[in-house]
């Protein structure tokens, strides 16, 4: 089994990527709002006022992370699903990426 981490920087692509993943029966996932460390540090400026400003800044850029579990042979389908929407990840300067990590144990409830 694998844990795939997909980072989507364009929120408009998110739903399209999810549809593509679902087309390949890749639906066992969690979606998380994420912000890069450099961006976070830049917003806070190390002060309480900066922290408050960042907390109430509703227009700040938020990326999406999809945490997806799949079988080893399904990784290629997840990559294809994402690249069908965002294009070739290696050629892009968007900051999108996919990471694959091995899962050596998983126990989950049946649905």
Radius of gyration of the chain (CA): 16
Task: Supply the pTM of this predicted model.
Answer: 0.76
Model pLDDT, residue 53: 59
In this structure, the number of other CB atoms found within 10 A of the CB of residue 11 comes to 12
Half-sphere exposure of 57 (CA within 13 A, CB side): 14
In this structure, the number of other CB atoms found within 10 A of the CB of residue 65 comes to 17
Model pLDDT, residue 111: 72
Mean pLDDT by 10 residues, the chain (111 residues): 93 92 93 79 62 57 89 94 91 88 90 72
Q: What are phi and psi of 106, to 5 degrees?
A: -150, 135
């Amino acid at each position: 089994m694998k844990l795939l981490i997909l980072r989507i920087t364009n929120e408009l692509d998110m739903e399209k990527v999810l549809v593509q993943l679902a087309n390949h029966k890749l639906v066992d996932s969690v979606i998380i709002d994420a912000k890069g460390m450099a961006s976070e540090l830049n917003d806070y400026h190390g002060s309480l006022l900066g922290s408050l400003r960042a907390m109430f800044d509703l227009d700040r850029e938020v990326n999406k992370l999809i945490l997806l579990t799949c079988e080893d042979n399904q990784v290629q389908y997840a990559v294809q699903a994402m690249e069908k929407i965002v294009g070739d990840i290696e050629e892009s300067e968007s900051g999108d990426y996919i990471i694959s990590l091995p899962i050596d144990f998983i126990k989950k409830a049946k649905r």
